[in-house]
């Protein structure tokens, strides 16, 4: 009997080691990250307090159970006691949990109040969720940009891509344009969405908040340490929910000022792009690039889509029909479907390029669309 028990315990140990040793070797993250803001550190503390309280309760309750299972068995000739209640015991184990809960509630309340008190902010960034990308608008500086899954991850994540995700740096957690912010600065975030509900989450900042169409939510952060912090959309938002990462690059205040100046310069360049007349070859090249980053996740690279949710563009009536109608669809979207209004997120020259590309590649129409043509189409 005893040797049998020892042998089973030995097998169990081997099983545990087989499961956990590889995990330990890889130094896996098992726990919440402490993060890089005061709030995230508070949350980490709170998490650890509650976790250890639960462990302590578990030790007591499971300990009593294990003792009872070992001692109070019929095979040991135990005669069952016949008690069926004890008011004293029941009062005690109602009052002790109440005290424990009050002990937890105090720090939780303090941290929550701090989080929900966004005053004396130094700057404001508006975050808009789209299927499946983020837009960041620096409201104090007057510029903004889109942030989508980077090209390498996007190639590797295609079914049967043949690319091993392990070879892609920061697989699924990298973007083309990260959100750049200064450290030691109180930043107010205003969150909303254009199509469905998304949720903006960077674990190192300590919170996530939903981006909801028709609502503007508020949250704030003050990052204490320069670095690159990665997260993901946390609210199911459709087909590519798993492929809209968030990357925050926290830099020194000086570096941030330089970056803002550079972005403003690019904005001037961008405005010039919308004024000039483009050659067809340039439009097609730029259009294909934009199509592949913005449109191909639904309509597919070959334009054939995934009907019925994502219609095929090849020889479609809209693509072949009036140029104005096609521009209208791309610029203002199709309400009630996944086709969002790209006029909100792309410049006129980008729209001109992508419409030209779609028209020629999938509609077999030899047309060129200029930024001015896009500007002329209005919502009505």
Partner 1 sequence: MSHATTHEHDHHDEKPKGFVKRWLLTTNHKDIGTLYLIFALIMFFIGGAMALIIRLELFQPGLQFVQPDFFNQLTTVHALAMIFGAVMPAFVGLANWMIPMMIGAPDMALPRMNNWSFWIMPFAFAILLSTFFMDGGAPAAGWTMYPPLVLQGGKNVAFMVFAIHLMGISSIMGAINIIATVLNMRAPGMDFLKMPLFVWTWLITAFLLIAVMPVLAGAVTMILTDHYFGTSFFNAAGGGDPVLYQHIFWFFGHPEVYILILPAFGVISEIIPAFARKPLFGYTAMVYATASIAFLSFIVWAHHMFTVGMPLGGELFFMYATMLIAIPTGVKIFNWVSTMWQGAMTFEAPMLWAIAFVVLFTIGGFSGIMLAIAPADFQYHDTYFVVAHFHYVLVTGAVFAIIAAVYYWLPKWTGHMYDEKLAKWHFWLSVISVNVLFFPQHFLGLAGMPRRIPDYATQFVEFNMISSIGAFVFGFSQLLFVYLVWKTAKGGEKASSRVWKGAKGLEWTVPSPAPHHTFQDNAPVNDADLAHGSAH
Smallest separation, CB 183 to partner 1 (Å)? 21
Among 41, 186, 241, 320, the residue binding partner 1 under the rule CB under 8 A is 241
Which residues, listed in sequence order, are joined to residue 189 by a DSSP beta bridge?
125, 219
Choose which of 1, 113, 281, 317 interacts with partner 1 (CB under 8 A): 113
Options 42, 150, 350, 373; binder of partner 1; rule CB under 8 A = 42
Closest to partner 1 by CB, 51 or 261: 51
- Nearest partner of 333 among 321, 315, 312, 351, judged by Cα: 351
Q: In sequence order, what are the residues at sequence separation of 6 or more whose Cβ sits closer than 8 angstroms to the Cβ of residue 197?
A: 129, 210, 211, 212, 213, 235, 237
Closest CA to 331 of 266, 273, 375: 375
Which member of 72, 151, 225, 301 binds partner 1 (CB under 8 A)?
Answer: 72
Residues 196-235 that bind partner 1 (CB under 8 A): 196-197, 199, 201, 203, 206-210, 212-215, 217-218, 231-235
Structure tokens at 64: 């009593």
**For partner 1, which is the closer residue by CB, 105 or 285?**
105
How many residues belong to the chain? 380
Question: Distance between CA 127 and CA 121 in Å, rounded?
Answer: 16
Does 31 contact partner 1 by CB under 8 A?
yes
Interface positions, 139-168, toward partner 1 (CB under 8 A)? 156-161, 163-166
Instruction: Return the bridge partners of 245, or none.
Output: 232
Sign of the alpha-carbon torsion through 232, 188, 348, 307: positive
Which residue, 34 or 141, has its beta carbon nearer to partner 1?
A: 34
- Between residues 68 and 258, which has the closer beta carbon with respect to partner 1? 68
Helix H segments across 199-347?
Answer: 253-275, 280-290, 296-299, 317-320, 323-332
Q: In the set 17, 54, 59, 376, which binds partner 1 (CB under 8 A)? A: 54
Neighbours of 104 (CB within 10 A): 14
Under the binding rule (CB under 8 A), the answer on residue 26 touching partner 1 is yes
- Cβ proximity to partner 1, 153 vs 288, nearer residue: 153
Question: Which listed range, 38-46, 120-128, 262-270, 281-289, lies at the site for partner 1 (CB under 8 A)?
Answer: 38-46
Question: Kind of pairing, strands 227-233 and 198-202?
Answer: antiparallel
Angle at the Cα of 197 from the Cα atoms of 192 and 198, rounded to 5 degrees: 80
Query: Is 99 or 268 the residue whose CB approaches partner 1 more closely?
Result: 99
Q: Least distance from C-beta 309 to partner 1, angstroms?
A: 5
CB of 290 to partner 1, least distance (A): 22
Q: Which of 127, 134, 148, 195 binds partner 1 (CB under 8 A)?
A: 195
Asked if 80 and 26 count as a contact pair (C-beta separation under 8 A), the reply is no
Least Å from the CB of residue 142 to partner 1 = 26
Contact 35, 44 (CB under 8 A): yes
CA distance linking residue 222 with residue 237, whole number of Å? 28
Task: Give the CA angle between residues 153, 223, 200 to the nearest 5°.
Answer: 45
Contact window for partner 1 (CB under 8 A) among 113-121, 248-256, 350-358, 361-369: 113-121
Q: Which of 6, 9, 17, 65 binds partner 1 (CB under 8 A)?
A: 65
Judged by CB under 8 A, the stretch of 18-26, 254-262, 288-296, 342-350 that binds partner 1 is 18-26
| Strand positions, DSSP E, 106-206 | 123-130, 133-138, 143-147, 179-182, 187-193, 198-202
* The one among 106, 120, 317, 335 contacting partner 1 by CB under 8 A: 335
Check residue 5 for interaction with partner 1 (CB under 8 A). Answer: no
């Amino acid at each position: 009997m005893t040797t049998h028990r020892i042998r089973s315990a030995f097998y169990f140990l081997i099983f545990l080691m087989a499961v956990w040793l590889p995990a330990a070797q890889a130094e896996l993250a098992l726990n919440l990250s402490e993060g890089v803001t005061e709030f995230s550190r508070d949350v980490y503390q709170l998490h650890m307090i509650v976790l250890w309280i639960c462990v302590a309760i578990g030790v007591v309750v499971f300990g009593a159970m294990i003792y009872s299972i070992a001692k109070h068995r019929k095979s040991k000739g135990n005669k069952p006691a016949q008690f069926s209640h004890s008011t004293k015991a029941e009062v005690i184990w109602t009052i002790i949990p109440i005290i424990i809960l009050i002990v937890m509630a105090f720090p939780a309340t303090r941290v929550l109040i701090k989080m929900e008190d966004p005053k004396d902010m130094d700057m404001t960034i508006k975050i808009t969720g789209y299927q499946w990308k983020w837009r960041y608008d620096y409201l104090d500086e007057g510029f903004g940009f889109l942030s989508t899954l980077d090209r390498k991850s996007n190639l590797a994540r295609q079914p049967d891509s043949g690319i091993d995700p392990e070879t892609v740096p920061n697989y699924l957690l990298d973007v083309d344009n990260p959100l750049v912010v200064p450290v030691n600065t109180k930043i107010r975030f205003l969150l909303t969405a254009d199509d469905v509900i998304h949720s903006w989450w960077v674990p190192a900042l300590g919170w996530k908040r939903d981006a909801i169409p028709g609502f503007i939510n508020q949250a704030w952060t003050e990052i204490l340490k320069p670095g690159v912090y990665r997260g993901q959309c946390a609210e199911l938002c459709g087909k590519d929910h798993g492929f809209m990462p968030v990357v925050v690059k926290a830099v020194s205040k000086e570096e941030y000022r330089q970056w803002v100046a550079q972005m403003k310069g690019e904005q001037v360049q961008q405005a010039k792009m919308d004024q000039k007349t483009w050659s067809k070859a340039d439009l097609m090249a730029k259009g294909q690039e934009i199509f592949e980053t913005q449109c191909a996740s639904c309509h597919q690279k070959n334009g054939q889509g995934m009907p019925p949710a994502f219609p095929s563009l090849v020889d479609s009536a809209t693509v072949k029909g009036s140029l104005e109608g096609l521009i209208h669809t791309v610029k203002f979207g199709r309400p009630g479907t996944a086709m969002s209004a790209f006029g909100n997120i792309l410049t006129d020259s980008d729209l001109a390029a992508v419409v030209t590309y779609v028209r020629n590649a999938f509609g077999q129409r030899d047309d060129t669309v200029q930024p001015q043509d896009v500007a002329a189409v209005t919502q009505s």
